Chains A and B, each alone.
With several copies, the nearest count.
Chain A
Amino acid sequence: MSTVVLKDVHKDYGKVKAVRGISFECADREILAILGPSGAGKTSTLKMIAGLESITMGEIFENGRLVNFLPPEKRNTAMVFESYALYPHLSVYDNIAFPLRSRSVQLKGESIDARVLEVADMLQIGPLLGRKPAELSGGQKQRVALGRALAKRAEVLLLDEPISHLDAKLRHHMRRELKKYQQALNTTVIYVTHDYLEALALASTIVVLNMGVIHQTGSPGVVYNRPADTFVATLIGQPRINLVPCRIQNTSAPELECISGDGSFRVPCPLPADQLPSGCREVLVGIRPQFLQLTPNLDDDGIAGEIYVSEYMGTDSIVEVKVGDHLLKVLTKEHGYRIAQAVKLQVLKKDIMLFDAQTGKNLLNHREPDASHGS
């Protein structure tokens, strides 16, 4: 049984406020991802959970027990450091075996061997076991760091961008292995990443952190489909979401419409008038590039625009469409568009998000939860 609970935790480094009162709960045996841009306070949070950084304010509980003052060696955690923190004088094998030999684990020769080999195999570093860290490439070091944490089989596994230096293939493999490992050993995992895909693919809960403040906590589906605010919406999804400043107006259309300043962009308002916060008329309309349909057929309904630029991205192209003063990104599989070609853009009402122009808050957030996220 291992839960981790943070209650209004703060971390100051002198004048720098790295973490400004965050609270979340990580349930037993779940993978919780802390997602945030560079400098958000992810590493600081993780180090506080590990007991490596003092807590400026607030409380951290592990298994219901207050651990603010428990030294790291008394907690049953394992951690992968962003900078690896390998033992320079030990071979890869001994690095991985190190926690196993410590008093808290104290395995004997053969079982150490078995565990090290198992982990090495999983991380594909078998042939490197005899080398010293100085003789490894960046990605290899990172895998050793991961191996060291995994070999220990701690109750709580803290991972700080553990696979950022691996290639896509290996990363994919690692993600799977990690999930298998976590399920087999019933470990609680807190996973720090700046990669939303990783968070979506791995975690059951995502905590979105920025500038030391939590913007949203939720399941991957919720975070993706119902971002709490524009920050979360832009952080997640690539190419990033289109945000168009609009006014909500009562037009001739059957329902309210969101219309941009120059009138070039107009979409139906996904909220009925009575659900709009009173007085709120200035909004940001958010539409993910995938949800914009591009058609060369100018007779179709939709927003008129012209192709501005088109970027080839393997299978898909990212096409930027100029609509009035706005550039909208569209993800499409068609590569045939010419620059300056006139097109129409279509969008389903269900794919339209609405954010408060002032606060950035999502105005739709009382909608039903969307259950469509995957395995």
Chain B
Amino acid sequence: MKSREQRWQDRYLPYLIILPALVLTIGILYPFILAIIYSLTDYRLVSPVRHFIGLANYLDSFRDINFWYSLGVTLLYAALTISIEVPLGLGVAMLLNHEIRGIRSFRFILIIPLMMPPVIAALMWKMIMAENGVMNYFIGLIGAAPVPWLANTYSLLSIVLIDVWLYTPFCAIILLAGLQSLPKEPYESAMVDRASGFFVFRRLTLPMLKPFLILAILFRTIDSLKMFDLVYATTKGSHSTMLMQVSAYYEAFRWYNMGKSLSYMIVIWVVIFIISRMLVSWWNRAMQRATGTER
């Protein structure tokens, strides 16, 4: 009897605990499935009828160089933002982790950008980056010619800059919280061991912080692969900023091709899925390693 009770606990308790979250999840699963089904049809917003057309939307996309271009730009965008935001966020978090005078204000100040709705932030930045905007004004002060920040050649980098401004604090917060949850004693002993700052960083902080780093990378990867708001609010998707989700937006809301648009989005979904899978298994390993409990 007792042993059965225990087994029941062992087996079902975790599921029970997860159940509420799972119910929410499954509720939202339905539209997902619908989206996949629609992507297999010639669904147009302006057409009352839908026909099942198999993978035609996908094949169509794969044959379209714009699709590949879009995918390329998206990956480039994600790579750029993450490779700037995570190290920068780590740096900021490490600075914020010092208990010095005034640090609380800094902690507060540095997360403020996060609070701007991205669409609004992008509009504000667009204003700042305008030809007669403040950025060019400051550049002008040092004698440089005004830069067309949001014109084709520069626009991707400019949007990356906005993204960095907006989301570096996100990385910083996650990493700061991570830093704060690290055990203090190894640091003390490392100090006594006369390890240099960089050595401690590489050998202690990085490995122990890795789970948090991966989490930051994970969430930033997911979000920047489906970036939309910033581009939409600044360039409306000029050629060099035609991210996947922007393309999908055009297909769906401007050209009414819902089926094709969904095929774009399912593809980006799959890309995110694959990358995340990798990151998550990496996270699992890092988590175990950081606590020294490999199974």
Which residues of A are in contact with B by a Cβ distance under 8 Å? 47, 50-52, 65-79, 81, 83-90, 98-99, 101-105, 132-135, 148, 152, 158
Query: Lowest 3 A-B CB distances belong to which pairs?
Result: A132-B292, A85-B185, A99-B193
Closest to B286 in A: A89
User: Contact flags (1/0) for B121-147 with A, using CB distance below 8 Å?
Assistant: 000000000000000000000000000
Closest to A68 in B: B3
CB atoms of B190 and A98 under 8 A apart? yes
CB atoms of B189 and A69 under 8 A apart? no
CB atoms of A102 and B292 under 8 A apart? no
Could you tell me the distance in whole angstroms from the C-beta of A100 to the nearest C-beta in chain B?
9
Give the residues from 172 to 198 in chain B that come closer than 8 angstroms, CB to CB, to chain A.
183, 185-186, 188-196, 198
The answer to whether the Cβ of B217 comes within 8 Å of any Cβ in the partner chain is: no
The answer to whether the Cβ of B204 comes within 8 Å of any Cβ in the partner chain is: yes
The answer to whether the Cβ of B203 comes within 8 Å of any Cβ in the partner chain is: yes
The answer to whether the Cβ of B64 comes within 8 Å of any Cβ in the partner chain is: no
Closest to B188 in A: A52
Given the complex of chains A and B, what is the CA–CA distance between A74 and B1 in angstroms?
14
CB atoms of B193 and A152 under 8 A apart? yes
Given the complex of chains A and B, what is the CA–CA distance between A78 and B195 in angstroms?
11
The answer to whether the Cβ of B289 comes within 8 Å of any Cβ in the partner chain is: yes
CB atoms of A104 and B196 under 8 A apart? yes
User: Contact flags (1/0) for B1-37 with A, using CB distance below 8 Å?
Assistant: 0110011010000000000000000000000000000
The answer to whether the Cβ of B207 comes within 8 Å of any Cβ in the partner chain is: yes
User: Which of B192, B194, B208 lies at the interface centre, i.e. has the most chain A CB atoms within 10 A of its CB?
Assistant: B192
Which residues of B are in contact with A by a Cβ distance under 8 Å? 2-3, 6-7, 9, 183, 185-186, 188-196, 198-199, 203-204, 207-208, 289-294
Given the complex of chains A and B, what is the CA–CA distance between A373 and B101 in angstroms?
54
Could you tell me the distance in whole angstroms from the C-beta of B102 to the nearest C-beta in chain A?
19
Given the complex of chains A and B, what is the CA–CA distance between A102 and B198 in angstroms?
9
CB atoms of B186 and A86 under 8 A apart? yes
Could you tell me the distance in whole angstroms from the C-beta of A38 to the nearest C-beta in chain B?
19
Given the complex, which residues of A lie within 8 Å of B6, measured CB to CB?
Answer: 69-71
CB atoms of A70 and B2 under 8 A apart? yes
Could you tell me the distance in whole angstroms from the C-beta of B254 to the nearest C-beta in chain A?
51
Contact of B192 among A52, A87, A132 (CB under 8 A): A52
Given A51-B191, A74-B194, A99-B195, CB of A134 within 8 Å of CB of B2 = no
CB atoms of A88 and B189 under 8 A apart? no
Closest to B206 in A: A89
Count A-B contacts at CB 8 Å. 109
Contact of A103 among B9, B195, B292 (CB under 8 A): B195
Given the complex of chains A and B, what is the CA–CA distance between A88 and B294 in angstroms?
11
Could you list 25 examples of A-B contacts with CB < 8 Å? A50-B192, A66-B2, A67-B2, A69-B2, A70-B6, A71-B6, A72-B194, A79-B192, A85-B183, A87-B189, A87-B190, A87-B204, A88-B183, A88-B290, A88-B291, A89-B208, A89-B291, A90-B203, A99-B195, A102-B190, A102-B196, A103-B196, A132-B292, A132-B294, A158-B192
Given contacts A51-B191, A70-B6, A90-B292, 18 further A-B pairs with CB under 8 A are A47-B188, A51-B192, A52-B192, A67-B2, A72-B192, A73-B192, A73-B196, A74-B194, A83-B185, A87-B204, A89-B207, A89-B289, A98-B190, A102-B193, A102-B195, A102-B196, A134-B293, A148-B189
Given the complex, which residues of A lie within 8 Å of B204, measured CB to CB?
Answer: 87
Given the complex, which residues of A lie within 8 Å of B188, measured CB to CB?
Answer: 47, 52, 72, 81, 85
Given the complex, which residues of B lie within 8 Å of A52, measured CB to CB?
Answer: 188, 191-192
Closest to A74 in B: B194
Given the complex of chains A and B, what is the CA–CA distance between A50 and B191 in angstroms?
9
User: Which of B183, B194, B204, B290 lies at the interface centre, i.e. has the most chain A CB atoms within 10 A of its CB?
Assistant: B194
Given the complex of chains A and B, what is the CA–CA distance between A158 and B193 in angstroms?
12
Given the complex of chains A and B, what is the CA–CA distance between A204 and B92 in angstroms?
49
Given the complex of chains A and B, what is the CA–CA distance between A103 and B196 in angstroms?
6
Closest to B6 in A: A69
Given A98-B190, A98-B203, CB of A134 within 8 Å of CB of B195 = no
Could you tell me the distance in whole angstroms from the C-beta of B36 to the nearest C-beta in chain A?
41
CB atoms of B185 and A101 under 8 A apart? no
Given the complex of chains A and B, what is the CA–CA distance between A148 and B185 in angstroms?
14
Closest to B208 in A: A89
Given the complex, which residues of B lie within 8 Å of A74, measured CB to CB?
Answer: 194
Given the complex of chains A and B, what is the CA–CA distance between A101 and B203 in angstroms?
10
Given the complex of chains A and B, what is the CA–CA distance between A342 and B143 in angstroms?
98
Could you tell me the distance in whole angstroms from the C-beta of B243 to the nearest C-beta in chain A?
37
Given A85-B186, A88-B208, CB of A75 within 8 Å of CB of B292 = no
CB atoms of B290 and A89 under 8 A apart? yes
Could you tell me the distance in whole angstroms from the C-beta of B290 to the nearest C-beta in chain A?
5
CB atoms of A72 and B191 under 8 A apart? yes
Could you tell me the distance in whole angstroms from the C-beta of B191 to the nearest C-beta in chain A?
4
Could you tell me the distance in whole angstroms from the C-beta of A161 to the nearest C-beta in chain B?
15
Given the complex, which residues of B lie within 8 Å of A83, measured CB to CB?
Answer: 185
CB atoms of B292 and A133 under 8 A apart? yes
Contact of A78 among B2, B192, B198, B290 (CB under 8 A): B192
Given the complex of chains A and B, what is the CA–CA distance between A89 and B182 in angstroms?
11
CB atoms of A77 and B199 under 8 A apart? no
CB atoms of B192 and A77 under 8 A apart? yes
Given the complex of chains A and B, what is the CA–CA distance between A73 and B194 in angstroms?
4
CB atoms of B185 and A71 under 8 A apart? no
CB atoms of A73 and B195 under 8 A apart? yes
Given A88-B183, A88-B290, A103-B196, CB of A81 within 8 Å of CB of B189 = yes
User: Which of A81, A84, A89, A158 lies at the interface centre, i.e. has the most chain B CB atoms within 10 A of its CB?
Assistant: A89
Contact of A98 among B195, B289, B290 (CB under 8 A): B195
Given the complex of chains A and B, what is the CA–CA distance between A65 and B3 in angstroms?
11
Given the complex, which residues of A lie within 8 Å of B294, measured CB to CB?
Answer: 132
User: Which of A67, A68, A83, A88 lies at the interface centre, i.e. has the most chain B CB atoms within 10 A of its CB?
Assistant: A88
Contact of A69 among B7, B198, B208 (CB under 8 A): B7
Given the complex of chains A and B, what is the CA–CA distance between A77 and B192 in angstroms?
6
Given the complex of chains A and B, what is the CA–CA distance between A134 and B207 in angstroms?
16
